[in-house]
Amino acid sequence: MDSHTSVLHPDGKLAPSSVPGKVRRALSPYRIIGRVRQWQYALSSRFRPNLAGGAVKTIDRVLNGSEVGIEWGAGRSTPWLAEKLGTLLSVEHDPLWQSWVNRRLPGDADARCVLRKLGNERPARCDYVQAADEFEDASLDFCLIDGRMRAECGLAVLPKVRHGGLIVLDDAQRYLELADGPGRVEARSEEWHGFARRVRGWPCLWERSMLRDTAIWVKLV
């Protein structure tokens, strides 16, 4: 799926104002075309990550097979990353999905998909988020945040990523927005203020497709 560089994602004009806004957006020509392209991409790229196409190309170009990485949200990306990284830990909360992913991991890869429980009362301390603690500080080369509790996972993993390592956030447009100035992003909600502040000024590649944005940061400090 090709990336686009436009900042805004315009919806097509379709229905009268009496139709709920979410329905109008979902049925807009722009969204329908985006879904069709997403299905085409899924059929033609069976085990490629469901990220913005430009982000997939960048990750593919940068990784050399020796890196250590973590991923929150197992799926089509997991077998693909298992072949691109030297070591991969994929964190999943759904036991059926975890089993499906583990059966599709390459047999010769140093990769595993682990099951971790979510937590609502103290999200930052739940097993799902604390999977980051399996790694020493500054020991990770790569991180993909594409599952649940993304703000908490993002904050938990930042100390674990080495200088020059990559932090990838899928569906970034839901949580952050680009701001004036190099590497500046602004949080769309209170829970993302901490993450936005920590990555401020880091080199950021913001790739867009018709349905999602994927942001990639290079850690500086």
- Residue 35 belongs to a domain: no
- Residue 71 belongs to a domain: yes
Q: What is the pLDDT of residue 105?
A: 96
Q: What is the pLDDT of residue 180?
A: 81
Q: How far apart are CA 42 and CA 195, in angstroms?
A: 30
- Residue 7 belongs to a domain: no
Q: How far apart are CA 68 and CA 141, in angstroms?
A: 5
- Residue 34 belongs to a domain: no
- Note whether 91 and 150 are within 8 A (CB): no
Structural domain including 176 reads: 53-218
Pairing type for strands 204-208 and 213-218 reads antiparallel
Q: What is the pLDDT of residue 46?
A: 57
- The residue behind tokens 């609502």 is 120
- Report pTM: 0.80
What's the domain count of the chain?
1
Q: What is the pLDDT of residue 6?
A: 33
Task: From residue 126, give the alpha-carbon distance in Å to each of 4, 91, 144.
Answer: 37, 12, 18
- Residue 1 belongs to a domain: no
Integer-rounded Cα Rg, in Å, for the chain is 18
Per-residue pLDDT tens listing for the chain (221 residues): 444 433 333 333 333 344 455 555 555 664 555 455 554 544 444 567 889 999 999 999 999 999 999 999 999 999 999 999 999 999 999 999 999 999 999 999 999 999 999 987 788 889 999 999 999 999 999 999 999 999 999 999 999 999 999 999 999 999 999 988 777 899 999 999 999 999 999 999 999 998 899 999 999 97
- Residue 48 belongs to a domain: no
Q: What is the pLDDT of residue 22?
A: 53
Other beta carbons within 10 angstroms of residue 169's beta carbon come to: 30
- Residue 46 belongs to a domain: no
Say which CATH number the domain at 195 has.
3.40.50.150
- Residue 33 belongs to a domain: no
Q: How far apart are CA 102 and CA 111, in angstroms?
A: 9
